[in-house]
Amino acid sequence: MGQSMFRGFRSTGCFILLTAFLSIPPFFCCGAPILSVDYRSIISQGDLHYETPVVRSDDGLPVGNGTMGSLVWTEPAALKFQINRVDVYASNCETTSFNARDWDYAWACGYVDIDFVDFGKDVFDEEKTVQHLGIYDGLAAVEGNGVRAQVLAWHKRDVMAVHVEDSRKKPQCIKANLRMIRHLATSFPGQSTEYANRKTSVVKTKHHTATSKLHVRQTSAGKCIVLTQVFEEGGYYCGSAVAVGIAGRNSKAMIAEVTEARLAAEPGAGAFTILITSAASFDRGRDIIGEALAALEEAAQAGFDKLLQDNKAWWHNFWSKSYVRLHSADGDADFVQAHYAYYLYLMASSSRGRLAPNFGSMLWSTGGDYSTWGAQQWWGNLRCIYYALFEANHIELIDPMFAMYSGMYEACATAARQQWGADGIYIPETAFFDGLAKLPEDIAAEMRDLYLLCKPWSGMSDRFRRFADVRHPHSSRWNWKSDGRWIDGQWVYRDRMDGPYGCVVHLFASTAEVAYFYWLRYEHTQDTEWLRKRAYPMIKGAAQFYRTYPGVQKGTDGLYHITNVNNYETYDPGQTGNRTDTPREISAMRGILPIAIKASEMLGIDSDLREDWKELLDNLVPLKDWRHGPTISFDHYTAETGDPARSAFADRVFYPGGLPEDEEVAGLSGLPIFAAIYGRADLFGKAVVSQLRGEILNKRSCRFNEIGRVGVLRNRMDLSEGVNCVSAERLGLAAHGLQLALCQSVPPGPAGAPVIRLFEAWPGKWDAAFKLLCRGAFVVSSSIRNGTVEFVEIEPQRGGVCRLRNPWPAQRPVLYRDGEKAQMPEGDLLELQTRAGQKLLIVPEGCTPEKLKRVVNAGTER
């Protein structure tokens, strides 16, 4: 940090070389990559290193394999874990037992404490404790007085391995304790806890039960302790198992007390491995204990060294798919680079399972069941951690999100019909992992009448009110329910206002925005089968919803308008202008309809619907009043649009004089993204640094007093979403803005032909090099120093036409195809024919291979 990434090389006016981190092989013209990248040096800038113990568990080191994970934190005598999974939910959309906000729960499977001291000196004290997370290898290490522990999450199976080395003069018995999550008093009013026997506890919440049970099992690796959870309500079931075993040391297993099992290792100097495995299922017939133990036996047989080597290979391959390297004299660019790499590590550690991690907790909860906002997903928040993964060339990390929303397709189609009287699908802003529950038809009919304002709110039937009483108020369907309290054993709440209005009740744009993510996946991969089988049903469903929603009607002006809708989470029923043709909804309609039309044309299907969509789009009210809701979806105003209104809007709204010195950018602000989109280099650098530093979070955030008035945590995440919500949203937003500032692949409008533009909003004092994925399935590498673009390399994954804005507008650059000089098209827009596997190099005018070779030789000599 702080040393120039370009030190020791000479500029010849045609190419300036990257140094210790990036170097150029002598014969670029032979088709070799332009930059030989030292990924370890780049990625390791994002490591965490603590010289003291953490004060609070939220500051722990994150370790996960995408499905299973935990923060790792210390107490003076112990190493601590809360094992979480992305596919463990206490309830689903059918629940009638969690009527108050935040009380539904998920993810937590069990606590594991590794105790190093019975009687003697603490091992993790203020003086001797050092903790390090190496993100390039995916390995955490904690060292204290005479003990050292290395922690990894195996990429192949749901296993966390803790390799313990005891070098104390008098080694003590080291114990792995496995504890129930619901191990003390009940969490919420209305709950009761029963202890069926010495190994089992049952927590009841109305119709819901959570049964936790401890087991001791014999395996080929020795005796293991196991904790199972079973969540049941009506026909719903979810089960989880956590198993703990010891490899390389004799051990003894026992049920220590009603909520805790213990596995004690025989005292002795040297090393052994504690293995923590897990399994989960929504199928009652699955043997989750057997699955957890099978993973444990496989890991024990492999040994820690083999697990570590396997993981290193996986992580090194992961990092090779893209990179961003930044430097500035003041260190700000280096600071941003570190956070970017760390963000990708977090996503790879928490988003490789069959469901998306929750936006507010991911796999990093440490406080048991309670979490602000409960267990449902908020699309507006969830997208914050996913947008940047397209350009980062890690689309595989978005697949759990696609799996979740595709999995609720039928529920969303039913909800569109029942709740709104529309075709297509309705993906709510807030939803359980499986969508929305099917309603009794009489309830659905009354809901349509009430929500579409065909029936006065005061005319609500007693049956509908009773039905609503036991539904979750965070659900978009019931979000008109506000705060409440327990009175004589009943949950009594108030309505938010007079009518079926809430923050997310009449919010439909989330449907189109989720479908737009499916389109982006196609655009970045050019996978036509994905478009046909996975993306198009969602895109078609979103377009059909808007086409048939009863609130979309043609007005006396001959244009279609949409009425009775939110704009983001704002809704004012007293002001018609705030609920008709809101910017977010018109943006969504004008965005998804062209995409649906283009996709149907490409696939040669639904020609009749296509004509209906065209008619709606051609006569739809224009998008206006961006001050109340600019959007980063759908490509309405990009650098390729050429609309004067775009520049005027950017100058009027986004700090025309630059970011004031005392201005602090909020964690959930889209300012770095908009600064990049609108080409505001003067604004982008300050905005992204401010957002990542998070000074504003040290002063205020959601439920600031409840979280202990903390801001950015030591592990770079934050608690801005509230209690037990360790969040990376601001890291995802900053990463997305960073990539757009470096490299944009944007069309002139929705569903248009994308054009690659480099360094559109890049601070002049920041040097950079990158490899990122662009739309059209083009992997693009480039670098910039002192404001000068040095080269562009393009690697087509599928072939086709690559459109590039000339990075040297005053010159006609030189093109090489697989090392051979080729004809360069004229003009500012360079349209290049490509084939899969080909390498294209574009350099400034006058830059020849011979000159490059001399520069390389001069640089290596120095």
Backbone torsions φ then ψ of 498, nearest 5 degrees: -85, 95
What's the CA dihedral at 455, 460, 461, 463 to 10 degrees? 120
Which range has the worst mean pLDDT, 21-35, 123-137, 489-503, 640-654? 21-35
What share of the chain in percent tops pLDDT 70? 89
Sign of CA dihedral 296, 300, 301, 302: positive
| Structural class in CATH, domain 1-33+755-862 | mainly beta
Q: If you write DSSP's letter for every residue of 836-853 in order, what string do you get?
A: TT--EEEE-TT--HHHHH
Please answer whether residues 178 and 227 qualify as being in contact, where contact means their C-beta atoms are separated by less than 8 angstroms: yes
- The DSSP code for 621 is P
Backbone torsions φ then ψ of 71, nearest 5 degrees: -75, 145
Report pLDDT for 646. 65
Report pLDDT for 168. 95
How far is CA 247 from its chain centroid?
Answer: 34
Q: How far apart are the first and last CA of the chain?
A: 21
How many Å apart are CA 741 and CA 734, to the nearest integer? 10
Q: Indicate the pLDDT class of residue 23, thresholds 50, 70 and 90.
A: very low
**Nearest to 4, CA basis, from 335, 323, 324, 331:** 331
Q: Indicate the pLDDT class of residue 853, thresholds 50, 70 and 90.
A: very low
Q: If you write DSSP's letter for every residue of 65-123 in order, what string do you get?
A: -SSEEEEEEEETTEEEEEEEEEEEES--TT--S--STT---EEEEEEEEEE--SSS--S
Q: Where are the domains of the chain?
A: 1-33+755-862, 52-323
- The DSSP code for 558 is S
What share of the chain in percent tops pLDDT 90? 75
Report pLDDT for 641. 87
How many Å apart are CA 849 and CA 819, to the nearest integer? 9
**Nearest to 263, CA basis, from 223, 303, 291:** 223
Distances (CA, A) of 816 to 72, 96, 162, 812, 846: 49, 65, 50, 13, 13
Q: Are strands 200-205 and 191-197 parallel, antiparallel or unpaired?
A: antiparallel
Please answer whether residues 278 and 140 qualify as being in contact, where contact means their C-beta atoms are separated by less than 8 angstroms: no
Backbone torsions φ then ψ of 374, nearest 5 degrees: 65, -150
How many Å apart are CA 359 and CA 346, to the nearest integer? 12
**Nearest to 16, CA basis, from 40, 44, 41, 35:** 35
Question: Between 332-350 and 681-693, two packed helices, what is the crossing angle to 10 degrees?
Answer: 60
Can you read off the two tokens belonging to residue 548? 């048939």
Distances (CA, A) of 211 to 81, 257, 290: 21, 16, 18
Can you read off the two tokens belonging to residue 6? 């370009």
Write the burial class of residue 533 (CB in 10 Å: 0-12 exposed, 13-18 middle, 19+ buried).
Answer: exposed
pLDDT at 648 over 90: no
Does domain 52-323 sit in CATH 2.70.98.50?
yes
pLDDT at 94 over 90: yes
Can you read off the two tokens belonging to residue 679? 């080409």
pLDDT at 745 over 50: yes
Q: If you write DSSP's letter for every residue of 669-711 in order, what string do you get?
A: --HHHHHHHTT-HHHHHHHHHHHHHTGGGGT--TTTTTTTS--
Q: What is the pLDDT of residues 808-835, one digit of tens each?
A: 988 889 999 999 999 999 889 999 999 9
Backbone torsions φ then ψ of 686, nearest 5 degrees: -65, -40
Backbone torsions φ then ψ of 534, nearest 5 degrees: -110, -45
3-class DSSP assignment, residue 241: strand
Please answer whether residues 246 and 275 qualify as being in contact, where contact means their C-beta atoms are separated by less than 8 angstroms: yes
How many Å apart are CA 63 and CA 311, to the nearest integer? 12
How many Å apart are CA 389 and CA 386, to the nearest integer? 6
Average pLDDT along the chain: 90
3-class DSSP assignment, residue 261: strand
Q: What is the pLDDT of residues 180-228, one digit of tens each?
A: 998 654 455 566 666 656 688 899 989 999 999 999 999 988 999 999 9
pLDDT at 34 over 60: no
Residue in the block written with tokens 């209305």: 190
Q: What is the pLDDT of residues 585-639, one digit of tens each?
A: 999 999 999 999 999 999 999 999 999 999 999 999 998 755 544 567 899 888 8
Report pLDDT for 857. 36
Report pLDDT for 709. 82
**Nearest to 86, CA basis, from 341, 361, 309:** 361
Can you read off the two tokens belonging to residue 522? 């196609």
734: enclosing H helix or E strand: helix 729-742
How many Å apart are CA 298 and CA 157, to the nearest integer? 9
How many Å apart are CA 808 and CA 725, to the nearest integer? 46
What's the one-letter identity of residue 531?
Answer: L
pLDDT at 640 over 70: yes
Can you read off the two tokens belonging to residue 229? 């959870």
Please answer whether residues 762 and 676 qualify as being in contact, where contact means their C-beta atoms are separated by less than 8 angstroms: no
Report pLDDT for 13. 38
Q: Indicate the pLDDT class of residue 129, thresholds 50, 70 and 90.
A: very high
